[in-house]
Amino acid sequence: MPITFVDRESELAFMEELWKRENSFLPIYGRRRVGKTRLVKEFIKDKPSLYYLSRNSTYLDNLRGFSDEVLKKFPSPYLTQDSFRSFADVFRYLSEKGKVVVVIDEFPYLIQSDKRILSEFQYVVDEVVRASKLHLILVGSSVGMMEEHVLGQKSPLYGRRDGQIRLEPLDFFNSWRLLGVDLEEAVRIYGITGGIPAYLILFNRFEDVKRLAFSKQGFLYAEGDFLLSSELREPRVYKLILKAIAEGRTRFNEISTFTGIPRSNLFKYVEVLERLGFLRREKPITAPPKTKNTRYKIADNYMHFYFRFVERYRDEVELEGLGFWGEFLEEYNAYLGGVFEDVARQFLIELNKAERLPFRFTKLGRWWRKGEEIDIVALNERERRALLVEVKWKDLSEREARGVLNDMERKGELIGLEGWEKSYGLMARKVKGKGRLGEKGFLAWDLSDFVELRS
């Protein structure tokens, strides 16, 4: 049976360290559905605490709501929710209650209600929290607002935090743990959800995508639009950019041509998507830092899936049909090749930590040039050693595997690492004859090795 909370050990350990102090102020932010609220509730479950979820409403309405929660937790015969004229008043009352964690979730709603809230919370941190045993946690799903208004240099709160947590999606292995399904099914579901816990827990099996993403009532059917609209002022422009990349226009000029957005304007939109974690810029691992040989990749699996498939089949879904299902399965299997490359990188990182590779790599990436590509290149520049790995989401016979590895040796002569010691590897859904390939000096892994690593 799937479990409900995995990973986050480093974040919880950091929060526990802050808890040992007299007081603290910690902003936590990240993409919607990534598990911020679940994290703070896990942290406060055994501590004296107060949790308030901000409303998309007025300052006064939020003040009354917060005051009400405080008085439920710490009642007074002399006070009502209308006794407090400001958040500072409420915090002064809380400061008399000893060591308490105070969590305000969706803090950007408070900022929107009244920009003066930032100056008020500057006072709260400086004059109340620091003179008490309060531990204040401000949580936000709007990455842009949290980085600008809470963490940014122009913010009244700048420089006052005791650290910050930008919560990232779960990696594949922890997503697999959360799902509680077999490995191949986990890869298929991960291609839709990425490591977003709120999406992962919706699935019992891959075919649940029919009701979740290909039904007008499905949770994942309109989620892509919601994410962009809640974070960005021009969601239609960003949608067009993501659609271009999802359909294979990965170079800057290709994106500009497809969208009709001039290059000079496109830069700012791309930078915003990168900052939000929806987009990632890649360059060949051996290229110089200022190379123009770059590509863009949608870094969020759900957003990639949404613009590659949900948007494509929207007309059919609106007619309440699944006549495209067979076509989708065929295309989705091809799409999983890129997903499995990402999973393979995470697998190699785990092997690297466990020192189960020929050397310990310090750099990991891709390589391409003039139509030639290598899926994964791992380097140790000090020792001048390289591992080149091809990734295939398919079952390979021993003969096919040898052919792939021989071609990798050819590509190894093109990558520009003369004088380096090179190792060659292959990762596939299933590889026959792995032992004999190992005897020839090659490295080969398949899904059975994932299971072994996990156990």
Q: Could you write out the DSSP letters of every residue in 245-314?
A: HHTT--SHHHHHHHH---HHHHHHHHHHHHHHTSEEEE--TTS-TT-S--EEEE--HHHHHIIIIITTTH
Which residue from 242, 207, 205, 445 is spatially nearest to 346, judged by alpha carbons? 445
CA distance 428 to 350: 17
Per-residue pLDDT band at 6 (split at 50, 70, 90): confident
Which residue from 335, 345, 317, 314 is spatially nearest to 192, judged by alpha carbons? 335
Per-residue pLDDT band at 380 (split at 50, 70, 90): very high
Per-residue pLDDT band at 103 (split at 50, 70, 90): very high
Asked if residue 389 lies in contact with residue 364, where contact means CB atoms within 8 angstroms, the answer is no
CA distance 284 to 367: 4
Pairing outcome for strands 279-282 and 100-105: unpaired
Domain ranges of the chain: 9-166, 172-338, 353-454
Which residue from 220, 168, 151, 162 is spatially nearest to 189, judged by alpha carbons? 220
User: Is the per-residue pLDDT at 48 higher than 90?
Assistant: yes
Asked if residue 258 lies in contact with residue 296, where contact means CB atoms within 8 angstroms, the answer is no
The CATH number that domain 353-454 falls under is 3.40.1350.10
Q: Which two tokens stand for residue 112?
A: 């929107």
**DSSP classification of residue 10:** H
Phi, psi of 24, rounded to the nearest 5 degrees: -165, 160
- What is the percent of the chain where pLDDT is above 90? 94
Stretch 39-45: mean pLDDT: 97
Which residue from 425, 429, 424, 426 is spatially nearest to 446, judged by alpha carbons? 429
What is the model's pLDDT at position 453?
86
Sheet with 134-140: strands ordered across: 49-53, 100-105, 134-140, 24-29, 165-166
CA distance 143 to 180: 30
**353-454 and 9-166 share a CATH fold:** no
Q: Which two tokens stand for residue 319?
A: 């007619």
CA distance 15 to 38: 14
CA distance 3 to 448: 23
Per-residue pLDDT band at 3 (split at 50, 70, 90): low
Q: Which two tokens stand for residue 208?
A: 């649940």
Q: Hey, CA dihedral for 136, 139, 143, 149, is it positive or negative? A: negative
Q: Name the CATH superfamily housing domain 9-166.
A: P-loop containing nucleotide triphosphate hydrolases (3.40.50.300)
Asked if residue 405 lies in contact with residue 424, where contact means CB atoms within 8 angstroms, the answer is yes
Stretch 152-157: mean pLDDT: 95
Give bridge partners of residue 380 from the DSSP assignment: 385
Burial of 358 (0-12, 13-18, 19+ CB in 10 A): middle
- What is the percent of the chain where pLDDT is above 70? 99
The CATH number that domain 172-338 falls under is 1.10.10.10
Phi, psi of 356, rounded to the nearest 5 degrees: -115, 30
Stretch 135-141: mean pLDDT: 97
Asked if residue 136 lies in contact with residue 110, where contact means CB atoms within 8 angstroms, the answer is no
Q: What is the pLDDT of residues 405-441, one digit of tens each?
A: 999 999 999 998 999 999 999 999 999 999 999 999 9
Asked if residue 368 lies in contact with residue 361, where contact means CB atoms within 8 angstroms, the answer is no
